[in-house]
Homo-oligomer: A and B are copies of this chain.
C-alpha cells in the first residue's frame, strides 16, 4: 500500500533472495531460467533458440462478436519432440530440459520414448542434441549429451537400471555455469564440445 510504483513489492522480493547462495536460488524454475537465457542469446544475437509452444488439442472455440476468439475446450497433448530448438553458429540445436528433486539419480521415466527417438534422429542428421538436468536439491544444472542419454536408455531397454546416477552425471555430464545474464549458459558447453 502507498507504493504506487510497486517498489515495496520489488524490495520485498529482493530481500527474500538475500542470504542465499546465488541468484538462481530465487525460486526460478529451470524453464524460466532457460527462457531468460534464450532471450539474452536472442537480443545479443548469439543464437536463435526458442521453446516450442505447449501442444494443445483444441476442441471448442467460441467466437464472440467484437472480441478475440476464446478456446473453451482444449486438452494438453504429449510432446513428440523436445521442448527447445534453434540455430547456433550454423548448427542445428535441439534439447530437452528437466528438473528433479531426487538427490541420487535422474529417473529416465522423465523422458518419453518419442523424445528419445527424436533425439536419436537429430544426432544421426548432424544436429547438436542434449538434455539439461537440474538437481534442485543442490541447485546444480548439467548438460548431458544426447549420446550419453541414449546409451543409458538402451541399457534400460536391455534390463539395466531405469535411471542415471547423480555420480555418473557429475562424471559424464558438464556442469552449466550460472551467470547473471545467461542463467543457464549452455552455449559455453557447446563451444567447448563442438567448436
Q: Which stretch, A47-55, A141-149, A153-161, A164-172, touches the partner chain B?
A: A47-55
A87 / chain B contacts, CB cutoff of 8 Å: 92, 94, 122, 125-127
A85 / chain B contacts, CB cutoff of 8 Å: 85-86
A5 interface residue per 8 A CB criterion:
no
A96 CA to B163 CA, complexed, in Å: 39
A36 interface residue per 8 A CB criterion:
no
- Closest B residue to A74 by beta carbon equals B71
Q: Is the CB of B92 within 8 A of A125?
A: no
Q: Is the CB of A81 within 8 A of B50?
A: yes
Which of B70, B121, B125 is the one whose CB lies under 8 Å from A75? B70
A72 CA to B75 CA, complexed, in Å: 9
Q: Is the CB of A121 within 8 A of B73?
A: no
A69 CA to B77 CA, complexed, in Å: 10
Q: Is the CB of A54 within 8 A of B58?
A: yes
The 9 closest A-B pairs by CB, nearest first: A90-B126, A71-B74, A53-B55, A92-B92, A87-B92, A53-B53, A56-B56, A87-B125, A87-B127
A and B contact pairs by CB, cutoff 8 A, 15 listed: A48-B118, A53-B56, A54-B56, A54-B58, A56-B56, A56-B71, A56-B74, A58-B74, A68-B76, A70-B73, A71-B73, A71-B75, A86-B92, A87-B126, A90-B125
Spell out A's residues near B (CB within 8 Å). 42, 45, 47-48, 50, 52-56, 58, 68-77, 80-81, 85-92, 94, 118, 121-122, 124-127
